[in-house]
């Protein structure tokens, strides 16, 4: 009964978090509004920001600074900011979200350079000695896609290929609202290329992966709540989210596949945030050794090389070839290619057809899975 109750609370809070993010929760708490920073983030990063904000408020630069937080499904959050929700600093799941905000005039086109200008880091931009683990600018945290299974791993899941077996029930969020979902599906497809399979085989794998999917909750957090509540036997998740759940005592186990996918979550100061000195100094704090140390302690793979080297031993070490791919491994254009390749919506599956789709693979195979039931 107690377990039942804790699940109940868990699910309710996941859903309410979503509801609050929709409402655009913007009541500054108490203190003078001039020292307030509006933070808008993707669902999973919420707890990390609470810790970072508390630590920042304890520094001289952050003394007296208050925060207004909003966390939810990444695409939903992006749309809310584009539609006018107050935001000084945005930390979203994947880069196309920031492209949307640039188009909406909320974030400057040069947002990735803020890492150099205000964060004072990045190999590619500063040209100084290696400061960041990967050259991509504007990225606040790295993570990888992992598979979360029930304690004891009853199905013996060891790698991505195991997810295509019959009887496996996958939980992964809905790609229409969640950035996490997009990382997961790109990772699933990519995993087959990483082990040397052809593009055609990777498509067939993605098709089976989606046929085995039993739930697509609206955000990464909602997906974890659904899995913990008992649905499915594999959850595809951010490594940091899975580690946090494990630390919280959920009866789960993390399987890091031998080959998996690099997640890079971008951060930016909005045009409003650039005019807010407290937002700027918080941004700087996020890229400091202290800020990145907090991320690392919460299961993120730090973008700061010094912190990554110090914390690397916590993470499963992979020395295989193609152990870690990113969007640019699928195509040099990165998300500009990957997004339409998987998620183009104007794709129609015709029953009985054997045509191989060229774009919108996920859209196509989901229709295929739907037609089968």
Q: How far is the CB of 240 from another protein (least distance, A)?
A: 23
Q: Quote the CA–CA distance of 261 and 145 in Å, as a whole number.
A: 6
Cα separation values, 358 from 168, 181, 247, 367, Å: 27, 20, 42, 15
Q: What is the dihedral of CA 32, 33, 37, 39, to 10 degrees?
A: 120
The alpha carbon of residue 277 and the mean position of all alpha carbons in its chain are separated, in whole angstroms, by 27
Q: Please identify, using beta-carbon distances, which residue of 104 and 117 lies nearer to another protein.
A: 104
Q: How far is the CB of 325 from another protein (least distance, A)?
A: 26
Q: Quote the CA–CA distance of 333 and 103 in Å, as a whole number.
A: 19
- List CB contacts of 225: < 8 A, sequence separation 6 or more: 10, 11, 13, 14, 15, 217
- List CB contacts of 129: < 8 A, sequence separation 6 or more: none
Q: Please identify, using beta-carbon distances, which residue of 200 and 358 lies nearer to another protein.
A: 358
Q: How far apart are the first and last CA of the chain?
A: 35
Q: How far is the CB of 311 from another protein (least distance, A)?
A: 34
Whether 366 contacts 210, CB under 8 Å: yes
Residues lying near another protein in the complex (CB under 8 A): 3-4, 7-8, 11-12, 15-16, 19, 22, 73, 75-76, 78-80, 82, 100, 174, 176-177, 213-218, 222, 226, 229-231, 345, 348-349, 366-367, 369-371, 373
Q: Please identify, using beta-carbon distances, which residue of 218 and 326 lies nearer to another protein.
A: 218
Q: How far is the CB of 40 from another protein (least distance, A)?
A: 13
Q: How far is the CB of 77 from another protein (least distance, A)?
A: 9
Q: Please identify, using beta-carbon distances, which residue of 29 and 355 lies nearer to another protein.
A: 355
Q: Please identify, using beta-carbon distances, which residue of 328 and 336 lies nearer to another protein.
A: 336
Q: Please identify, using beta-carbon distances, which residue of 104 and 323 lies nearer to another protein.
A: 104
Q: Please identify, using beta-carbon distances, which residue of 64 and 230 lies nearer to another protein.
A: 230
Q: What would you measure as the largest C-alpha separation in the chain, in angstroms?
A: 66
Tally the C-alpha atoms within 13 A of residue 296's C-alpha that lie toward its C-beta. 21
Q: How far is the CB of 359 from another protein (least distance, A)?
A: 16
Cα separation values, 196 from 160, 188, 189, 204, Å: 13, 14, 12, 14
Q: What is the dihedral of CA 270, 271, 272, 274, to 10 degrees?
A: 90
Q: Please identify, using beta-carbon distances, which residue of 24 and 316 lies nearer to another protein.
A: 24
Q: Quote the CA–CA distance of 241 and 300 in Å, as a whole number.
A: 9
Q: How far is the CB of 367 from another protein (least distance, A)?
A: 5
Q: How far is the CB of 256 from another protein (least distance, A)?
A: 25
Q: Quote the CA–CA distance of 244 and 33 in Å, as a whole number.
A: 32
Q: Please identify, using beta-carbon distances, which residue of 213 and 260 lies nearer to another protein.
A: 213
Q: How far is the CB of 214 from another protein (least distance, A)?
A: 6
């Amino acid at each position: 009964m107690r377990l039942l109750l804790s699940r109940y609370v868990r699910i309710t809070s996941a859903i309410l978090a979503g509801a609050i993010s929709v409402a655009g929760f913007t009541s500054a708490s108490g203190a003078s509004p001039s020292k307030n920073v509006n933070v808008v983030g993707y669902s999973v990063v919420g707890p990390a920001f609470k810790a970072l904000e508390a630590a920042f408020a304890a520094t001289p630069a952050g003394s007296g600074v208050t925060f207004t937080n909003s966390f939810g499904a990444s695409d939903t959050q992006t749309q809310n900011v584009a539609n006018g929700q107050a935001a000084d600093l945005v930390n979203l799941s994947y880069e196309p979200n920031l492209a949307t905000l640039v188009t909406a005039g909320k974030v400057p086109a040069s947002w990735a350079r803020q890492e150099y200008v205000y964060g004072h880091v990045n190999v590619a931009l500063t040209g100084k000695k290696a400061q960041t683990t990967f050259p991509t600018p504007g990225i606040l945290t790295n993570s990888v896609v992992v598979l979360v299974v029930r304690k004891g791993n009853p199905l013996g899941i060891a790698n991505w290929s195991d997810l295509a077996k019959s009887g496996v029930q996958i939980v992964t969020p809905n790609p229409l609202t969640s950035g996490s979902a997009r990382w997961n599906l790109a990772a699933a497809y990519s995993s087959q290329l990483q082990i040397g399979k052809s593009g055609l085989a990777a498509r067939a794998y993605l098709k089976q992966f989606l046929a085995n999917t039993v739930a697509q909750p609206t955000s990464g957090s909602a997906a974890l709540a659904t899995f913990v509540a008992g649905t499915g036997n594999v959850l595809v998740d951010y490594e940091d989210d899975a580690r946090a759940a494990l630390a919280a005592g959920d009866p789960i186990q993390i399987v890091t596949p031998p080959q998996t996918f690099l997640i890079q979550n971008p951060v930016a100061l909005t045009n409003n945030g650039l005019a807010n000195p407290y937002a700027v100094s918080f941004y700087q704090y996020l890229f400091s050794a202290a800020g990145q140390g907090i991320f690392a302690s919460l299961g993120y793979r730090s973008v700061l090389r010094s912190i990554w080297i110090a914390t690397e031993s916590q993470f499963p070490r992979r020395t295989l070839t193609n152990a870690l791919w990113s969007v640019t491994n699928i195509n040099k254009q990165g998300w500009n290619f990957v997004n339409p390749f998987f998620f183009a919506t104007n794709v129609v599956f015709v029953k009985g057809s054997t045509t191989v789709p060229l774009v919108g693979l996920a859209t196509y195979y989901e229709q295929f899975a739907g037609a089968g039931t």
